Each structure stands twice: as C-alpha cells, then as structure tokens.
Structure 1
Amino acid sequence: MTIELSKPDHEQAIASIERYFRVNRDERIGNLEAGALLAFFLEELAPVAYNRGVTDAQSNIQTRVAEVDFEVHQTEFGYWSKFDKAAKGKR
C-alpha cells in the first residue's frame, strides 16, 4: 500500500522540507527536489511509522477489549444471592 498525502498536506510538506533546508542547512532546495525527497520519505520511511501506528493501535484495542469483561460484566443468576446474604447476616 502506498502512503499518499492529500494535496494540502503534500504542499505543506514540500514547503516544510524547503524551509528545513533553508533554516537548518543554509541551502535552497527547489520545489522539484523537495517533492522528490518527500516521495522518497513516503515510500521508504513512512511505512515504518505507519506500521508502528498500526501496532500501537492494535495493542491499545486489545487492552481495551480485555478490560471490557471487568467493566460491563454482570453477575448471572444473582437474584437469590442477595437473600442468601441477608439470611446469613441474621444467623
């Protein structure tokens, strides 16, 4: 699966890359070069971050599913237990 950006995000990413080179490397990088670098990052590095996000989401969901039993569990056939407890208290 190719990771793609929306047009506004793509434009903002290119502007950010151009700014990074200008501010941190004191170099000017053109729009085409910044676009090529962005394409490389999206193809080569973005899947690493994406996969990590998926793994983190799966872990979070699995934790929440494991907690569901404790949060919503209802005692079955509990009607008589309240009477049994009351009877034991009277002894």
Structure 2
Amino acid sequence: MTPINLSKELRKQALDEIKKYFLEKREEEIGQLAAELLLDVMIEKVGAAIYNQGIRDAHTFMSEKIEDLYGLEK
C-alpha cells in the first residue's frame, strides 16, 4: 500500500492540534518530536482505515448520484 503523506501545511496543522490537545485536555506540554512521533504512529495505525472509510463514503455518494441519473430517463 502507498504510504499516506501529508502536505507540509497539513502536517504542521496536525502537529499544532496535537500539541494544543495535550496542553488543553491533559495540561501537558509536549515537544515537537513527541508530537511528530505520535502523528506518525496515528497515521501508520489508523490512517488506512480512515482513508478506506473515505473511499466507501465517496462510493456511496457517487452510487446515489448515478441512481439519480437513471431517474432522468424518458
């Protein structure tokens, strides 16, 4: 399977959110390296499942739209 890669901007945003979560919810400050390692593990362990759910959702959406097209037949 092709690895999941985030753009620089999206990766930075995710890292900022991880650090914010730890600070606000756990009252812990974590450093950049800890946030990067956590993000990498999350992507490795659940990234494919999230991606696959997106594919299933897109398939369902497109299937419904195709069915709508059949309704336009005369």
TM-score between both structures, scaled by the size of structure 2: 0.89
Post-superposition offset of 1:52: 0.7
Q: Distance in 1 between matches of 2:71 and 2:9?
A: 44
- Superposition RMSD in Å: 1.1
Cα offset, 1:51, TM superposition: 0.6
Structure 1 or 2, whichever has the larger Rg, is 1
CA–CA distance in structure 2, aligned partners of residues 64 and 58 of structure 1 = 10
For residue 67 of structure 1, report the CA deviation from its aligned partner: 1.9
Secondary structure of 2:3 counterpart:
coil
Compute the TM-score of the two structures, normalised by the length of structure 1: 0.74
Q: Where do residues 6-25 of structure 1 align in structure 2 (5 Å cutoff)?
A: 6-25=7-26
* Unmatched 5+ stretches in structure 2: none
| Alignment match, 1:4 | 5
How many residue pairs were aligned? 73
Residue 4 of structure 1: how far off its partner (Å): 1.1
Residue 35 (1) aligns with residue 31 (2): no
Q: Percent identity?
A: 32
Q: Counterparts of 1:47 and 1:28 in 2: how far apart (Å)?
A: 28
Query: Shift of the alpha carbon at 1:42?
Result: 0.9
Q: How does 1:1-91 map to 2 (within 5 A)?
A: 1-71=2-72, 73-74=73-74
SS of residue in 2 equivalent to 1:45: helix
